[in-house]
Amino acid sequence: MKKIAILASGSGSNAENIIQFFKHHPNIQVDSVWSNKRDAFVLERAERLKVEAHPFSMDEFISTDKLLNEFKKREIDLIVLAGFLLLLPQKFVREFLVVNIHPALLPSYGGKGMYGVHVHNAVIANKELESGITIHLVDEVYDHGKVLFQAKCAVESQDTPETLALKIHELEMEHFPRTIEALLSGSD
């Protein structure tokens, strides 16, 4: 059985979608959900779905190996970043396979500070004709690792950051779990 640990900072709609997708999967399970914010709604979602939920401190994340060792003890095969806004320390990237989803077509509109509505504002301000999602492996640089999958959507002249966010969210819900499944099914 392949095990996933999800790291998230916010409400957790992507995390919930992933948990539901793998709920009865014969070979892959979501082991646990972790958040750097004690009040993140993702922790409540995980508990409601009967998945262990754990907040962690910045010290545990950056200065100690507590979190890293916990993932090793749990024999985590993949760390999934689902709305996780911190740059992963190199020790995680060296020890684990890590995947992220970004709400734009990388390499455009990536990097520090480019998340959520900031991305959609920039796409619309630059009058782009399309946007989309990028699912990629994580390395030591924001939004930089090998691209695993991209999906596109049209950006219409009447789109606002909010309407574009809805289009992007639909792509995330459809493609993120399937891309995770393909990644884990191909790595034995």
Annotated catalytic residue, options 24, 25, 54, 102: 102
How far apart CA 154 and CA 169 sit, in angstroms, is 13
Max Cα separation, the chain?
50
Active site residue 102: yes
Please say whether the beta carbons of 179 and 14 come within 8 A. no
Beta strands in 42-179 (DSSP E): 52-55, 78-81, 97-102, 130-137, 147-154
The residues annotated as belonging to the active site are 102
